[in-house]
Structure 1
């Protein structure tokens, strides 16, 4: 160990259909090889996860390691944002988008980063009057997909989002949307809007492929009204990020954004945050993250 490090491991046992609980012992043993002290916390609910995360940060740990999915990571972000405590994520959920953005795809990645002291400042988004988010805030078609995917029991992993996309296409309807930023107002009939701090959501879909966590800006992707057959042809390009070249897609960058118009539900980091209208701001360097090779 190159430095004295006190860490807390926060286990979200239900993540990945119990995978987090099954691997918790192995993960704890691996982390103890690279830190001086490891406190183990096991949450029994989302509320318990949030409380334990805040308790660990208030207790002054150097690193909070979340073993779970994007839901657990999102709660870890709430606790660590604006504090000296760094956040690490060992992925054990369905989407694992924040872990992917941090380059920590396994406990080995996290252990190596802790051993090497690999930490970096990370921009965060913050919903006005609401939570922080680290990855993508979305509304419209993609938030409807999120609602459906969260309610599905099968299949596991990214295929769940793919199936939810196909099912939501049947009910797809464009709605009037107003996107206001510090330097423009865009009004259009839209199918979805994504506000990206990182590139991806839904288990690795690069909806905002140009997003960076170090530029103090959101990347916005807005899909305007288009025939269903056009969207069906566009779907395969979502996995590669090539959708941004489609004529129905508009992209731009902004420090802050306000979405208004439709009666859509918004999701951030895969978690329901409420209805539109809402605003959000990018806060540079709001989080210290344990980072692997992205």
Structure 2
């Protein structure tokens, strides 16, 4: 397959389907499926072009070039991290988007109605392309105090999980999943509630919390329903706050997140708003599992910000 480059400027109507693929997603377990995915996408009757990128930043840049250069659609083959990079290019544009879930965490794809099987998802996307069918869903737009903007589709983590991710990303040993497990142990030993200021559509809440999540969709981390009532078509963000948990309580409650029943715990509060201003010290947030902006920041629900091919 040829890469879409800045020199490719076909019209959007007749342009290619640009495909951003992460061969290491899901620890490479779907690596061999990419030729089949490309073949199934080609059944839509459009030329298919595989984007070339060697890093996450290059993947995002290649997505922008493809969209700006006239791609008729952008498809991301990978997990939530790959989707996150692709969304930066298609958000707020008329270029439709299709996620093929092939990562460790595929929360955005599954929560927005795509099959969990990559080949089945590719078939759904190809049929939507062939029929000219799209389905609008909301995205969340983050804005930092310096004006930097980023988009996300699933959930923004701004509490314990974000702190663990930041710790794991700073560690050079051990490699693989054990690094994350060790980061959890280190941060559990240091666990303390932090003071957050939440402004929800202008109403201020001062809270001491361990867990803070702002969801456009319900799930993060590969199926953890942290914001179980979030609906990516309602124009609203769901905010879930876990209060003054000690270590023992946190470890008892955390497994309940997979079922979404943690919101019934007396230390958990849920809110809903169009705009969320989030202030705390020393927190770097993670959106769609990717390192995002440091606090303070503002998150805004943007209705119908992306058109999905399904």
Q: TM-score, normalised by structure 1?
A: 0.89
Q: 2:138 aligns with which of 120, 123, 127?
A: 123
**CA shift for structure 1 position 262:** 2.8
- Please name the residue that 2:260 is paired with: 241
Q: 1:144 aligns with which of 143, 147, 163?
A: 163
- For the Cα contact (< 8 Å) 1:161–1:202, is it kept in 2? no
Stretches of structure 1 lacking an aligned partner (at least 5 in a row): none
Output the CA distance in 2 between the equivalents of 1:32 and 1:261.
47
- For the Cα contact (< 8 Å) 1:4–1:35, is it kept in 2? no
- Please name the residue that 2:19 is paired with: 9
- Please name the residue that 2:278 is paired with: 259
Distance 1:59 1:48, change over 3 A: same
Q: TM-score, normalised by structure 2?
A: 0.84
Map 1:94-243 → 2, pairs under 5 A:
94-104=104-114, 105=116, 106-116=118-128, 117=131, 118-128=133-143, 129-148=148-167, 153-155=175-177, 165=184, 168-243=187-262
**CA shift for structure 1 position 76:** 0.7
- For the Cα contact (< 8 Å) 2:112–2:232, is it kept in 1? no
Q: 1:29 aligns with which of 34, 39, 48?
A: 39
Distance 1:18 1:216, change over 3 A: same
- For the Cα contact (< 8 Å) 1:12–1:72, is it kept in 2? yes
**CA shift for structure 1 position 108:** 1.8
Output the CA distance in 2 between the equivalents of 1:182 and 1:68.
34
- Please name the residue that 2:5 is paired with: none
Distance 1:166 1:86, change over 3 A: farther
Q: Let me know the Cα RMSD of the aligned residues.
A: 2.4
Distance 1:166 1:114, change over 3 A: farther
Which stretch shows the higher mean deviation, 89-98 or 74-83? 89-98
Output the CA distance in 2 between the equivalents of 1:87 and 1:149.
31
Q: 2:65 aligns with which of 55, 59, 82?
A: 55
Output the CA distance in 1 between the equivalents of 2:197 and 2:124.
45
Distance 1:54 1:19, change over 3 A: farther
**CA shift for structure 1 position 7:** 1.3
The number of equivalent residue pairs is: 286
**For 1:228-272, what per-residue CA distance to the aligned partner results, in whole angstroms no more than 9, with x for missing partners?**
222222122111000000000000100001111332111111111
Which stretch shows the higher mean deviation, 216-225 or 256-265? 256-265
User: Tell me, what secondary structure is at the counterpart of 2:51?
Assistant: strand
Output the CA distance in 2 between the equivalents of 1:66 and 1:82.
17
Which stretch shows the higher mean deviation, 93-102 or 210-219? 93-102
Distance 1:113 1:162, change over 3 A: farther
- For the Cα contact (< 8 Å) 1:11–1:20, is it kept in 2? no
User: Tell me, what secondary structure is at the counterpart of 1:53?
Assistant: helix
- For the Cα contact (< 8 Å) 2:278–2:298, is it kept in 1? yes
User: Tell me, what secondary structure is at the counterpart of 1:131?
Assistant: strand
User: Tell me, what secondary structure is at the counterpart of 2:226?
Assistant: coil
